[in-house]
Structure 1
């Protein structure tokens, strides 16, 4: 079952200017392996991380370094199963992420789906408003 969808688009030239103005951003936003990539690929990975945060409903419990975009043997992008990401997914009852990224014509875009396995149970720990004004 899909529990979250996120999409993000980054203007590559603007992103490059930000990295030049604030060099520390490269270390803050990207893992060591990611930092070596060209700017268009970094912009796509930044969009992927932002899209994942949107799909998760927020960044609680996860840091930029927990979100490591890797390519599999088939070259398909995915998020590495870091301990921080695994904990963030578990906290939201999620089991799997799906990622698609592209960059062309000066923009980078990423789309993320977060899923819970069919039949998997998830107990929310936060109070919800049932419409009666009571929690």
Structure 2
């Protein structure tokens, strides 16, 4: 496999909380219904993951945040379920595998995404 892109992003938790409180439609625009059910720290980590994913895909215009959902696999590891604009961009780049790592600690949520082509 070859690495096609790498993205990283960090989110200050207090700033994220203020943004969600100030702009309630932000969560509706960015997160899927199941992501919106999570706690704020988990949502912030998923926001970082979506930003990191966009960077790994070359940050093209027109990606829909709803087209990338962070879910947990049976072992508890996070993974992306992609569709629509995100799946189209990944296919155009020949990406077959997305790796994502999330963390939140000490007031910061962070994520790293690695995009690979086979």
TM-score normalised by the shorter chain: which range applies? over 0.9
User: How far apart in 1 are the matches of 2:51 and 2:113?
Assistant: 9
Query: Taking CA–CA contacts closer than 8 Å with sequence separation of 6 or more, which of the two structures ends up with the larger relative contact order?
Result: 2
User: How far apart in 1 are the matches of 2:109 and 2:42?
Assistant: 8
Give the ranges of 4+ consecutive aligned residues of structure 1 lying more than 4 Å apart after TM superposition. Answer: none
| Unaligned ranges ≥5, structure 1 | 118-135
Name the structure 2 match of 1:120: none
Query: 1:60, CA displacement in angstroms?
Result: 3.6
Name the structure 2 match of 1:58: 59
Q: Do the aligned partners of 1:61 and 1:87 also contact (CA within 8 Å) in 2?
A: no
User: How far apart in 1 are the matches of 2:60 and 2:74?
Assistant: 29
| Unaligned ranges ≥5, structure 2 | none
Aligned positions of 1:61-80 closer than 5 A: 61-80=62-81
Q: Do the aligned partners of 1:60 and 1:88 also contact (CA within 8 Å) in 2?
A: no
User: How far apart in 2 are the matches of 1:9 and 1:74?
Assistant: 24
- Structure with higher Rg: it is 1
Q: Do the aligned partners of 1:31 and 1:68 also contact (CA within 8 Å) in 2?
A: yes
User: How far apart in 2 are the matches of 1:88 and 1:31?
Assistant: 19
User: How far apart in 1 are the matches of 2:117 and 2:48?
Assistant: 22
> Which structure has more helix as a fraction of its residues?
2
Matched residues, number: 117
Q: Do the aligned partners of 1:63 and 1:84 also contact (CA within 8 Å) in 2?
A: yes
User: How far apart in 1 are the matches of 2:4 and 2:13?
Assistant: 29
* TM-score relative to the length of structure 1: 0.83
Q: Do the aligned partners of 1:99 and 1:113 also contact (CA within 8 Å) in 2?
A: yes
Whether 1:87 and 2:77 are equivalent positions in the alignment is no
